[in-house]
Amino acid sequence: MDKKQSVIDLCKELRLPGIRELVEEDVAFQETTPAIDLLHTVLTKEKNDRWIRSKSTRIRRANFPEKKLLEEIDTRALPTDAQQKLPNLQTLDFIKAGQNVILTGSPGTGKSHLAIGLGVEACLAGYKVYFASVSSLINQLKESRSERTLRSFELRFEKYDLVIIDELGYISFDKEGAELLFTHLSLRAGRSSTIITSNLSFAKWEEVFHDPILTAALTDRLTHKSHVVNMIGPSYRMRETQKWLENSHS
């Protein structure tokens, strides 16, 4: 076996695909290149490739229902409050500060798109992110409690820098679900960031939790030093549908 193939095989065994590519392209076999320069080239290549792969891995593990990017949003169509607050949210400083973001308002105004877009940006910046609809999260909490693995489930969630909980208010849940969600969100309050999207104003959250005391306590903890974004406005999806219908008949 020649030296080049031996190095390629070693790269495969050591899981160094970036260096292997350089070897296969003969970049690492230029005899005129000083050893220190060569070493710098191959290690920089491997580091950059690992960083790219890690970003893809974080996005995949975040469990987004679909990949939505902030640059895909027509910011002019967003409600005024969202237009004003989005530039600050894009800095992701709220994650560094362990603050929450609450997006409340009408259906179809871009709440989920904004939440996912911020989540993707966080993944690209090196943060660990997890996305779940509120119904899915409650089901996971209930299953963990019944299997007596609730504490390990909570510990796993503590590792996430950002948790996105989507669609609070679309369905109500029972007393057990409300209490589990309250406890889960309370554990993160003031320590790690949570983004919540809801089609209900805070005054109507009691319709979901069915407990005025619990609702008041949860609202107080979630909104303390948080970014509340008013997403009341005309439906973006309805405008897109109307535009499509007009174009299809023109």
Query: Domain spans of the chain?
Result: 3-61, 70-241
Which of 14-28, 57-71, 83-97, 160-174 comes out lowest in average pLDDT? 14-28
Whole-number Å distance between alpha carbons of 222 and 226: 7
Q: What pLDDT does 41 receive?
A: 74
Output the pTM of the full model.
0.81
pLDDT at position 224 over 80: yes
Whole-number Å distance between alpha carbons of 215 and 208: 9
Whole-number Å distance between alpha carbons of 59 and 157: 16
148: left (phi over 0), alpha (psi -120 to 50) or beta: left
For domain 70-241, the CATH superfamily is P-loop containing nucleotide triphosphate hydrolases (3.40.50.300)
| Pairing outcome for strands 162-168 and 227-230 | unpaired
Of how many residues is the chain composed?
A: 250
Contact of 195 with 162, CB cutoff 8 Å: yes
| Pairing outcome for strands 129-133 and 162-168 | parallel
pLDDT at position 3 over 90: no
